[in-house]
Amino acid sequence: MEQYMPIVWIGFAIFMLLCEGFTTQLVSIWFVLGSVCAAITTIFTSDITIQSAVFLVVSLVSLIVTRPLVKRFKKRNKTTGTNADRHIGQVGFMLTDLTDIDETAQAKVGAETWTVKSDKAPLLKGTKVKVLAIEGVKLIVEPVTE
Protein backbone atom coordinates (compact mmCIF):
# COMPACT_ATOMS: atom_id res chain seq x y z
CA MET A 1 0.00 0.00 0.00
CA GLU A 2 2.87 2.37 0.80
CA GLN A 3 4.10 2.41 -2.80
CA TYR A 4 0.65 3.59 -3.96
CA MET A 5 0.36 6.54 -1.56
CA PRO A 6 1.87 9.10 -3.97
CA ILE A 7 -0.74 8.05 -6.54
CA VAL A 8 -3.50 8.25 -3.91
CA TRP A 9 -2.46 11.77 -2.86
CA ILE A 10 -2.07 13.02 -6.44
CA GLY A 11 -5.40 11.39 -7.35
CA PHE A 12 -7.05 13.16 -4.42
CA ALA A 13 -5.46 16.45 -5.53
CA ILE A 14 -6.83 15.99 -9.05
CA PHE A 15 -10.27 15.11 -7.66
CA MET A 16 -10.28 18.24 -5.46
CA LEU A 17 -9.12 20.33 -8.43
CA LEU A 18 -12.02 18.99 -10.49
CA CYS A 19 -14.43 19.76 -7.64
CA GLU A 20 -13.02 23.30 -7.50
CA GLY A 21 -13.57 23.67 -11.23
CA PHE A 22 -17.27 22.89 -10.88
CA THR A 23 -17.92 25.47 -8.15
CA THR A 24 -18.24 29.23 -8.40
CA GLN A 25 -16.42 29.87 -5.13
CA LEU A 26 -13.19 28.68 -3.59
CA VAL A 27 -14.16 25.48 -1.84
CA SER A 28 -11.47 22.85 -2.18
CA ILE A 29 -8.36 24.55 -3.56
CA TRP A 30 -6.69 24.33 -0.14
CA PHE A 31 -7.03 20.55 -0.18
CA VAL A 32 -5.27 20.44 -3.54
CA LEU A 33 -2.23 22.13 -2.02
CA GLY A 34 -2.37 19.86 1.03
CA SER A 35 -2.60 16.74 -1.15
CA VAL A 36 0.35 17.77 -3.29
CA CYS A 37 2.45 18.42 -0.17
CA ALA A 38 1.39 15.06 1.27
CA ALA A 39 2.41 13.40 -2.02
CA ILE A 40 5.84 15.06 -1.76
CA THR A 41 6.08 13.82 1.83
CA THR A 42 5.85 10.22 0.55
CA ILE A 43 9.36 10.68 -0.86
CA PHE A 44 10.71 11.11 2.67
CA THR A 45 8.50 8.82 4.74
CA SER A 46 6.04 6.01 4.22
CA ASP A 47 4.20 6.76 7.49
CA ILE A 48 0.59 7.52 6.56
CA THR A 49 0.08 9.37 9.85
CA ILE A 50 2.81 11.88 8.97
CA GLN A 51 1.48 12.24 5.42
CA SER A 52 -2.02 12.87 6.76
CA ALA A 53 -0.68 15.39 9.28
CA VAL A 54 1.15 17.24 6.48
CA PHE A 55 -2.06 17.23 4.43
CA LEU A 56 -4.13 18.62 7.30
CA VAL A 57 -1.59 21.24 8.41
CA VAL A 58 -0.87 22.54 4.90
CA SER A 59 -4.58 22.62 4.03
CA LEU A 60 -5.47 24.44 7.24
CA VAL A 61 -2.60 26.95 7.02
CA SER A 62 -3.32 27.72 3.37
CA LEU A 63 -7.00 28.18 4.25
CA ILE A 64 -6.21 30.54 7.14
CA VAL A 65 -3.69 32.55 5.10
CA THR A 66 -5.60 32.90 1.83
CA ARG A 67 -9.22 33.15 3.00
CA PRO A 68 -8.95 36.79 4.23
CA LEU A 69 -7.19 37.75 0.99
CA VAL A 70 -9.93 36.18 -1.09
CA LYS A 71 -12.65 37.90 0.96
CA ARG A 72 -10.92 41.28 0.58
CA PHE A 73 -10.61 40.76 -3.19
CA LYS A 74 -14.29 39.78 -3.47
CA LYS A 75 -15.40 42.91 -1.58
CA ARG A 76 -13.42 45.09 -3.96
CA ASN A 77 -15.17 43.60 -7.01
CA LYS A 78 -18.64 43.48 -5.52
CA THR A 79 -20.50 45.77 -7.91
CA THR A 80 -21.57 44.37 -11.23
CA GLY A 81 -21.93 46.82 -14.06
CA THR A 82 -25.05 46.72 -16.17
CA ASN A 83 -26.16 48.37 -19.35
CA ALA A 84 -28.51 50.52 -17.27
CA ASP A 85 -25.45 52.40 -15.96
CA ARG A 86 -25.27 54.20 -19.28
CA HIS A 87 -28.35 56.23 -18.28
CA ILE A 88 -26.52 57.98 -15.45
CA GLY A 89 -26.00 61.58 -16.52
CA GLN A 90 -28.59 61.43 -19.31
CA VAL A 91 -31.42 63.93 -19.52
CA GLY A 92 -35.05 62.93 -19.92
CA PHE A 93 -38.47 64.38 -19.14
CA MET A 94 -41.26 63.60 -16.73
CA LEU A 95 -44.27 61.76 -18.14
CA THR A 96 -46.28 62.00 -14.91
CA ASP A 97 -46.22 64.31 -11.89
CA LEU A 98 -44.04 63.51 -8.89
CA THR A 99 -45.58 65.42 -5.99
CA ASP A 100 -43.92 63.82 -2.95
CA ILE A 101 -40.40 62.49 -2.29
CA ASP A 102 -41.87 59.20 -1.05
CA GLU A 103 -43.69 58.61 -4.34
CA THR A 104 -42.56 57.38 -7.72
CA ALA A 105 -43.48 58.66 -11.16
CA GLN A 106 -42.71 57.90 -14.81
CA ALA A 107 -40.07 59.59 -16.94
CA LYS A 108 -38.79 59.08 -20.46
CA VAL A 109 -35.00 58.67 -20.62
CA GLY A 110 -33.64 57.83 -24.03
CA ALA A 111 -36.14 55.55 -25.73
CA GLU A 112 -37.32 53.94 -22.49
CA THR A 113 -39.92 54.77 -19.88
CA TRP A 114 -38.58 54.45 -16.33
CA THR A 115 -39.98 54.62 -12.84
CA VAL A 116 -38.22 57.50 -11.11
CA LYS A 117 -37.73 58.89 -7.62
CA SER A 118 -36.38 62.26 -6.55
CA ASP A 119 -35.52 64.20 -3.42
CA LYS A 120 -36.42 67.36 -5.33
CA ALA A 121 -40.22 66.95 -5.46
CA PRO A 122 -42.43 68.25 -6.90
CA LEU A 123 -41.50 67.44 -10.49
CA LEU A 124 -44.34 68.15 -12.87
CA LYS A 125 -45.14 66.46 -16.17
CA GLY A 126 -42.82 67.75 -18.91
CA THR A 127 -40.03 68.82 -16.51
CA LYS A 128 -36.53 68.02 -17.78
CA VAL A 129 -34.68 65.71 -15.40
CA LYS A 130 -31.13 64.39 -15.15
CA VAL A 131 -30.39 60.83 -14.00
CA LEU A 132 -28.17 60.79 -10.90
CA ALA A 133 -28.17 57.09 -10.00
CA ILE A 134 -29.95 53.78 -10.32
CA GLU A 135 -31.55 52.20 -7.27
CA GLY A 136 -32.83 48.73 -8.12
CA VAL A 137 -35.14 49.26 -11.11
CA LYS A 138 -35.75 52.95 -10.41
CA LEU A 139 -33.82 55.96 -11.63
CA ILE A 140 -32.94 58.68 -9.15
CA VAL A 141 -33.39 62.04 -10.89
CA GLU A 142 -33.17 65.75 -10.25
CA PRO A 143 -34.58 68.65 -12.24
CA VAL A 144 -32.32 70.18 -14.86
CA THR A 145 -31.59 73.82 -14.15
CA GLU A 146 -30.76 75.74 -17.27
76 pLDDT band, cuts 50/70/90, is low
For residue 24, pLDDT over 90 is answered with no
Q: 44-48, 53-57, 118-122, 138-142 — which is least confidently predicted?
A: 118-122
User: Cα–Cα distance between 13 and 36 in angstroms, integer?
Assistant: 6
Closest CA to 141 of 124, 120, 113, 126: 120
Strands annotated E in the chain = 91-94, 105-109, 112-117, 128-135, 138-143
Summarised one tens digit per residue, pLDDT across range 102-118 is: 889 999 998 899 999 99
71 pLDDT band, cuts 50/70/90, is confident
* Domain coordinates in residue numbering, the chain: 2-76, 83-143
Superfamily (CATH) of domain 83-143: Nucleic acid-binding proteins (2.40.50.140)
> Does the bond joining 68 to the residue before it have cis omega, within 30 degrees of 0?
no
132 pLDDT band, cuts 50/70/90, is very high
